[in-house]
Structure 1
Amino acid sequence: MSNAVFETNIEGLKLKSRGKVRDIYEVDDDTLLIVATDRISAFDVIIPTPIPGKGKVLTQMSLFWFEKFKDLVKNHVLESDPSNYPEPARSHAAILKDRSMLVKKAKPLPVECIVRGYITGSGWKDYKRTGKICGISLPEGLIESQELATPIFTPSTKGEVGEHDENISFEKVVDLVGEDVAQKIRDLSLRLYIEARDYAKERGVIIADTKFEFGIIDGEVTLIDEVLTPDSSRFWPLDGYEPGRSQPSFDKQFVRDYLESIKWDKTPPAPELPDDIVEKTMARYNEALERLTA
């Protein structure tokens, strides 16, 4: 996949971190350059096979939602056109185009803000075992992929690369960030999810669940990282949706399903993906972008 960007090396900028998908560079004391590569992870492990163009889809979709929600919550985006970046980033405009954002540096909160609107994935497994999702009691008799009467907030810790996130209670979130901030990020997460869910459904996409991240900038809770992308969410086509089974998806569930099918033990190193899985995944990502942002 010669046109894929597995990692970047921006000469003249200090690499701050290389995450599961994003390479983050220090521009100055207040500014970061976030570059979405074409890496893909599953079960918290980076897959050695990139998905060409994936980073561009993630960036363009995040920018769309940041703009859509800007009146609800501040975000960290300063600029996304590389021709307007300061040097030396501007000199790398060709590789940064459509897959990067210049952002204001935030103090990230140590919480993954997960909202679930449908019972699926690990939530379905948890419910079958305990009748609850992440400790939240739910009615008896729910079936796989069923829409919940009310979306639920199921936060987790942030695992480092190669580590699994750990579900935590709201009380633990309060311990980590304080009551006022905990209530704000919970309420914002639920409101953002509901607005996005309703918007997406009009465009033939079900957002089954998603993850938001927040940080503090100038003392204010700020939306950061990525927003409602195929990497941070489960997207299902509305057409053909049928509770009681797993659903076809626009997101990386497609890759997860393949890895489950080959009985990978979910520990590094991950296996390579075959060409047909790469091509189908690319098509899923691109269709999600088209449906939601066109």
Structure 2
Amino acid sequence: MSTNPFQFPGQTAFYKGKVRDVYTIEDRLLVMVVSNRISAFDVVLPRPIPYKGQVLNQIAAKMLEATRDIVPNWVKAVPAPDVTIGIRCETFPVEMVVRGNLTGHAWRTYKSGKRELCGVPLPEGLKENDFFPEPIITPSTKAHEGHDEDISREEIIARGLVSEADYKQLEQYTLALFKRGRELAGKRGLILVDTKYEFGKQGDTVFLIDEVHTPDSSRYFYAEGYEERQQAGQAQKQLSKEFVREWLMEHGFRGQAGQQVPGMDDAFVNSVSERYIELYENITGEKFAREELSREETEQRIKEALKQLS
């Protein structure tokens, strides 16, 4: 598909993110096109991954629908495989990261000897990938460029990033969503390990926005064999885009200054595409239907949906 942005009636803004193109319509709706671009270590890699946008958009659509009874969400229409149209909200400038296991960034912090993360105390005696006694919320600030940064609940409120009343609401929603996410994952033989949620507000209503429970925003373990692997001190079988990061690290790239992104040959690009499709099928339990719309077809579908929502 062409990289030139679309132009829609009533369009008031356009934002090109690392992997998504976002169009603002009359300051009240957003058209989010989830591209096939892929990023790792905060760098957009040189080649797109076929069907990645469709995979992420369709998982998010299913998960948002499956959690609509917990919190209202931003979605109004999904007119194309890689497109969602929804309500434009004032976004809270924090990401609500929730962790059920001592993995990734939390484990690296713990391994360094620290017993606190984002103001949350961490219990003694845990091994990598162990379950926390209860899921913990470790928020981060949202960075438009570079890395997001850890921040505590107290600092968020003290700095006025989110009011105390709103933050309490976000905490309640986050824990309820994570509980639902774990239930949905459990039905698929998976463990939802950690994920992040983003919220916005329109008037007095808080909305769940962005993508939910996708392999780009979440980490999953396979439940089968989890206990045995823990007892043996073995790595857990993961379902996330971690394999892309691992490939980059094997090729000497960690996103540091002066490092060159390794070349991605056809075989690797196709293998990543197949892994994303495998992720879709594992998470949803449904066969993935490859859809290839032309740019013109996508544009037409978006315009028709916008007309119905006007």
- 2:235 and 2:88 mapped to 1: Cα distance? 39
TM-superposition CA deviations, 1:205-257 (whole Å, max 9, x none): 22110010000022211000111111101122223432334333222111111
Correspondence for 1:84: none
- 2:126 and 2:252 mapped to 1: Cα distance? 28
1:125-204, aligned counterparts within 5 Å?
Answer: 125-129=108-112, 130-161=114-145, 163-175=146-158, 176-204=161-189
Correspondence for 2:41: 43
Correspondence for 2:107: 124
1:27-42, aligned counterparts within 5 Å?
Answer: 27-42=25-40
TM-score by length of structure 1 reads 0.86
What SS does the corresponding residue of 1:226 show, helix, strand or coil? coil
Correspondence for 2:299: none
* Partner residue of 2:68 out of 67, 70, 77: 70
TM-score by length of structure 2 reads 0.82
Correspondence for 2:251: 262
What SS does the corresponding residue of 1:260 show, helix, strand or coil? helix
Gaps of 5+ in 1: 82-96
Gaps of 5+ in 2: 287-310
1:132 Cα deviation after fit? 3.3
What SS does the corresponding residue of 2:149 show, helix, strand or coil? coil
1:277 Cα deviation after fit? 3.7
- 1:35 and 1:202 mapped to 2: Cα distance? 30
* 2:37 counterpart letter in structure 1: R
1:141 Cα deviation after fit? 2.2
Contact 2:37 2:44 in 1 (8 A): yes
1:45-124, aligned counterparts within 5 Å?
Answer: 45-81=43-79, 97-124=80-107
1:282 Cα deviation after fit? 2.2
What SS does the corresponding residue of 1:73 show, helix, strand or coil? coil
| Pairing 1:213–2:198 present | yes
1:266 Cα deviation after fit? 1.2
What SS does the corresponding residue of 1:112 show, helix, strand or coil? strand
What SS does the corresponding residue of 2:216 show, helix, strand or coil? coil
What SS does the corresponding residue of 2:198 show, helix, strand or coil? strand
* 1:178 counterpart letter in structure 2: S
Matched positions, count? 274
**Higher Cα Rg: structure 1 or 2?**
2
- 1:65 and 1:14 mapped to 2: Cα distance? 29
Name which of structure 1's ranges 63-72 and 126-135 shifts more when overlaid on structure 2. 126-135
- 1:21 and 1:189 mapped to 2: Cα distance? 24
- 1:45 and 1:116 mapped to 2: Cα distance? 24
- 1:126 and 1:6 mapped to 2: Cα distance? 42
Contact 1:44 1:164 in 2 (8 A): yes
1:284 Cα deviation after fit? 2.7
* 2:249 counterpart letter in structure 1: E
Question: Identity percentage over the alignment?
Answer: 39
